[in-house]
Amino acid sequence: MSEPSSTKQAWAEGATLGAAIIMVTVGIVQFFQGIAAVAKDEVFVVGIEYVYKFDLTTWGWIHIVLGVIVAVVGFALFTGAGWARISAIVVAAISIIANFLWIPYYPWWSILIIALDVVVIWAVSTWKPAAV
């Protein structure tokens, strides 16, 4: 195997382990963010109203469920199983969509999570466990 390909795979492997850690952390934080939205609607400031506006309680439950799923898939990603890698890509894509829709409520956090989800998708999709 050539050196550039080996280096790329080493980066992808390290990034995949990082992606697992990111997914677990983001999942836990999204879970608590959802609890905050459900328990106390005044925590979040609503700016401009958008077409895809939901009640904050609804968004809270969406983030609670999504947070649990993201964290569970993140833990499963540590095993390197094929289903966990595919699930991580799908869940990260769903998280991108959910956080895009969440931008009016928490813009900087949403943009950060979208960027981290892109890193997760890149890392998981480029790593070939057998190549390392």
- The model carries a pTM of 0.79
Interior/surface letters 93-132, b for 16+ CB within 10 angstroms, e for the rest: eebbebbebbbbbbeeebeebbebbeebbbbbeebeeeee
Q: Does 1 score more than 60 pLDDT? A: no
pLDDT at position 49 = 67
pLDDT in tens, 47-85: 666 666 777 788 889 999 999 999 999 999 888 778 888
